[in-house]
Structure 1
């Protein structure tokens, strides 16, 4: 009984954390200093769909309007947000829970950005990361992108790697996670999808990937933020209560006309959520490409799990599972009370 009461306390606390969070996504720019293979942003020509807003005063107005709309946890993506830090600062000025997705090539300073959560992209691991990501806008390739990201964010507790795994990268996964852990960072697993020619994972590949990530979670429990329940949903694209796809994904823009029927269906959506193009006014279909059948985006999958608490609670041990998944999710954000920095407030980050 006492254990269940403690679990209920944890459940209510993290449920309140989730209820207080109001997120939207913002394409901070159409520009990027890389051309990663499989990047949906360029694969689907998001860089040329709208004209990028370049007036910083209008940016300030729009960010303030979004804060007034109730958004407090923006996710800033691109293009590459680190190229426009003055825009990032505006979000930090008006909203308390800011996260930025970056390729790691350019370091985001610590001073002035102390409470910014930084999610660093990583594709495949090992030499695959350079093969897939170390490509300049002019097509010229280079090496050492992962090494540079590690150096930029060594012992920086704001930063974690969003590691997009792939079948070809299985031989490199453990060494990659070990290097992240040794660097003083954490890792959240994603699924690499080459939108130019994605093949849905076969059962044998699903099993192989799942076996490796579950082993890594067990071997590096502090470094790997992802919960086993989430990992299985990510790799399989399904749970015991549903299959991920457009009809289930909650990360759809409420102001996009294409989503009218989806929102009216009654399936859960993120309250107030919009994904804005770099003009800061066009609401795109969802948090990624709009191709839900090819999507295993980490934030979309975890949001799908979190908004379906009622479903999960119907299953044996569902209370523990949902609570742990939610706690692991919030632990990736440096502004959350579940982040290791805030569980250990006397620990000061090492900045180099």
Structure 2
């Protein structure tokens, strides 16, 4: 079988197994125990407009109605969702597939089988500067060898030297490591541009020479560090270099000059709706505070990358690039062993 036929066959297999993904995004917690620089929840213009005052019954009804609407993948975020596990349980009751985006300081109980993405911003002094506390060791202890867990290193201009040692730690604790890029909020960028003094616990570095905002040179340096870590610790990093080349290009999106919203964002094209902590849906996307022009956050950008399948099908390299990234997405965002279960069911193996 030719490479072309083989890649097309595998793409069809994955697409058939995954089916139509209808995702919903939910801010489920309005509190957090960290103060991450440029926090997508607190360092934004919208969070103060929404109160965390919905009852347990209202949360349950929200997720039940979302399931009726056809939502089959839940993104659990907000401030820190691990602080409200009962809300995650309610979601899982109605929407069996989901992902929890957490800082890892509170272990999510084992009865919750959603995938768990633990954000890490570096090691020691670096993560303390960026998050006000060094919580990495605790997160690694909480999720060591946990099959639900994926550690997500948020690359900033300040922490690239930690990529290799972080990969070593991930290997030693039996957890996969992947990457995201620091993506400022619209408010964060506005403050930085105006030279604002510190006005928030989540805006401490924006107008200093220690800003976490990445430059073109930083992206190239980050890629070198990722390559080095892949070579030193094979199998620990689960990340597509083809996707990395795509997500770090100069202009990732077409921006509407009047609204500042990316017109070709995959999240908007797939109709994903973001629910704020008060269940309102007036935000622009799954992360309404983020500045579209600089959005390279992995969950959002992945959706855009996959939405461009038609263009990528035109070349064998494009097909292989798409396939590599999609295989990783399936391993990270869908239930543990998803493709194995699919393959077993396809072959007639009794899964009961």
- TM-score normalized by the length of structure 1: 0.81
Q: 1:224 aligns with which of 234, 237, 259?
A: 237
Structure 2 equivalent of residue 128 of structure 1: 126
Is structure 2 residue 47 aligned with structure 1 residue 47?
yes
- TM-score normalized by the length of structure 2: 0.81
Structure 2 equivalent of residue 26 of structure 1: 26
How much has 1:202 moved relative to structure 2?
A: 3.4
Structure 1 ranges of 4+ moved more than 4 A: 265-268, 336-344
**CA 1:163/1:267 → structure 2, altered by over 3 Å: closer, same or farther?**
closer
How much has 1:84 moved relative to structure 2?
A: 0.8
Question: 1:197-229 deviations in whole A, cap 9, x for unaligned?
Answer: 368643332221111113323443422121111
Question: 1:277-330 deviations in whole A, cap 9, x for unaligned?
Answer: 011123311222241123211111111110001111223422211111111111
Q: 2:225 aligns with which of 212, 219, 239?
A: 212
CA–CA distance in 2 between the matches of 1:75 and 1:213? Answer: 26
Once the two structures are superposed, the pairs formed by residues 174-213 of structure 1 within 5 Å of their partners are: 174-193=164-183, 195=185, 196=188, 197=206, 201-213=214-226
CA–CA distance in 1 between the matches of 2:137 and 2:46? Answer: 29
How much has 1:27 moved relative to structure 2?
A: 0.3
Once the two structures are superposed, the pairs formed by residues 143-292 of structure 1 within 5 Å of their partners are: 144-193=134-183, 195=185, 196=188, 197=206, 201-234=214-247, 236-238=248-250, 243-245=251-253, 247=255, 269-288=268-287, 289-292=289-292
SS of 2:76 mapped into structure 1: strand
Unaligned runs of 5+ in 1: 136-141, 249-257, 345-352
Structure 1 equivalent of residue 76 of structure 2: 76
Structure 2 equivalent of residue 321 of structure 1: 321
Deviates more, 1:208-217 or 1:78-87: 208-217
Could you tell me whether the CA contact under 8 Å between 2:255 and 2:293 is conserved in 1? Answer: no
